[in-house]
Chain A
């Protein structure tokens, strides 16, 4: 009777040999990447979290050192964060600015690249050439090139008179709303340049759509407009979220970003109040805001889970519940048997 509970445990589905071997292969394939990421990404990121909470001490022998565990002021962990949020005059406005401008420009970039992608998927002359041109910004946007261009103000629309547009917008919108919109117009070129990779991703999704679907819709008398809403858009939907995330990340980690400049400044300033811990706290706040931004877009564009998948999960849950119940009953029986010393019948 003693070994009864052990037997019960075996009800849990054990992974088979084949599955185990497959999992091993999976791990094997990612091990190099995992090691690289763990040493040079994950570990530094979490160390920076520790620094931002515990603070760093700078001494002339060891250079920068984290405060050792026994000297941490446990009740004052959030000190740096409070400093960043409430005492820094530059950080919070910059963050707010970034938040608003990203919220405005991401939909513009995604919609623009979707339109361009659909055009580039039509039958037109010189399609290859156009695709190349529209992918070209990828090599401009990242790197020091962009700073040179913005220095010489080549990234503002000098062809179109932006002043009149911004003036017109400012006249009928409240200023709080008008600023992001007008900045959108002045930075139009930069926004267009960000759309290289999104266009590419959209094109690849468009090519996945079966042309016979369009033919069938055409035979049934659907207009191009209807086809767009019923066929093209649903097929593109997962890519929309992907592109939103990509664009947000791209904008946020760009060298042109003012917040990154602030972080860099704080890091090398080396004063008492602003040091590496301060910069780390800034970076963490920034990362959290970024995650929130991505979350907002994910909430809007999340594809609904498949009905079957949902049902499968439900059944799974039910089975687990039943299994637990069985386990519970078995255990109770074992307990009773022990308590009342009933002779076991073999």
Chain B
């Protein structure tokens, strides 16, 4: 396949496309519905939130829910920005670290031969299958023993080695042609250069995909704040939003929760929009047939 870069859209409209478009369009609409719903839901006034059957689109949009949310957060001792800062720091650290470790490891697992490689992959396979909640208590003990309770690393380190990300990225590294790597070796590149200059650029789409997934996990994670952090000022925004929703339980809580969901969702959407371009390029440009 010739290199076509980012121009994946055909230039002209052909009649043969119509039947495919006919199938794709309704499905695409369908896929986009939840996002429309979330945005609409946040602006609904009280009586529309509880309407039955639930309406999809908002009729009289108000920013009422957001003001309520702000009011709740003002009454708390710690400012919202503090939680936001925590969340951003934790998410940034975790995503960067885990992507670095994951790509390194998957490069080694798929392209370098060494003893114990298969064993480790199998262990990873088992770890994928295991429920994360079930290891909470041993994890807590590890963190307590290292003395990391209440530190930033209690948020970061448990999530850094993510088996699903390794599983996904390794599949993409497997597809990098060996001849490309051999050629680089012949030209005098060492393993690190091969990793940095050849493997990483090629698996960019996989990295973008993994980034979206890891970001998801970290951004919405409440367990670390719940169990590993006692200091209120070191907890994350997700945790805070959740407490707000719980504190304002009942009828008023619905609106607050809808607003909080939208606020928590927006970073996801932004990252997705940034990443989607490189995700969509997939592996078309591997350089070698």
Contacts and interface: CB of A to CB of B under 8 A. Distances in A.
Nearest to B116: A27
A40 B134 contact: no
Contact of A152 (B54, B195, B209, B282): B54
Interface string A145-187: 1001100111100100000000000000000000000000000
Contact of A203 (B132, B163, B282): B282
A89 to B, nearest CB: 20
Contacts of B14: 123
Interface in A89-140: 116, 119-120, 122-128, 130-140
The 8 tightest CB contacts between A and B, nearest first, are A283-B134, A26-B112, A44-B138, A29-B108, A36-B161, A33-B105, A23-B114, A26-B114
A22 interface: yes
A25 B129 contact: no
A149 B34 contact: yes
B104 A30 contact: yes
B142 A267 contact: no
B28 A143 contact: no
A37 B120 CA distance: 10
Contacts of B96: none
Contacts of A154: 33-34, 37, 54, 56
A125 B35 contact: no
Nearest to B30: A192
Interface in B119-154: 120, 123-124, 126-139, 141-142
B54 A153 contact: yes
Interface in B31-51: 31-35, 37-38, 41
A124 B220 contact: no
A263 B168 CA distance: 27
A204 interface: yes
Name the residue among A41, A135, A210 with the largest chain B CB count within 10 angstroms.
Answer: A41
Contacts of A280: 134
Range, interface on chain A: 35 or more
A44 B261 CA distance: 32
Given A22-B114, A37-B163, A267 B101 contact: no
Nearest to A203: B282
Contact of B132 (A22, A64, A246, A253): A253
A47 B195 contact: no
B220 A287 contact: no
Nearest to B28: A133
Interface stretch (A78-86, A193-201, A317-325): A193-201
B179 interface: no
A41 B13 contact: no
Interface in B138-196: 138-139, 141-142, 157-158, 160-161, 163-164, 166-168, 171-172, 175, 191, 195
A294 B128 CA distance: 11
B105 A30 contact: yes
Given A29-B112, A33-B101, A204-B283, A124 B17 contact: yes
Nearest to A255: B220
B10 interface: yes
Contacts of B21: 124-125
A57 interface: no
Nearest to A15: B115
Given A33-B105, A279-B134, A42 B123 contact: yes
Interface string A1-34: 0000000000000000001001111111110111
Contact of A45 (B101, B130, B133): B130
7 contacts: A26-B117, A132-B276, A145-B261, A154-B33, A154-B34, A204-B172, A290-B129
A263 B127 contact: no
Interface stretch (B59-67, B83-91, B262-270): B262-270
A45 B142 contact: no
Contacts of B198: none
A217 interface: no
Contacts of A207: 1, 282-284
B257 A148 contact: yes
B24 interface: yes
A117 to B, nearest CB: 10
Contacts of A201: 171
B134 A41 contact: no
A142 interface: yes
Nearest to A195: B31
Contacts of A290: 129
Interface string A290-312: 11001000000000000000000
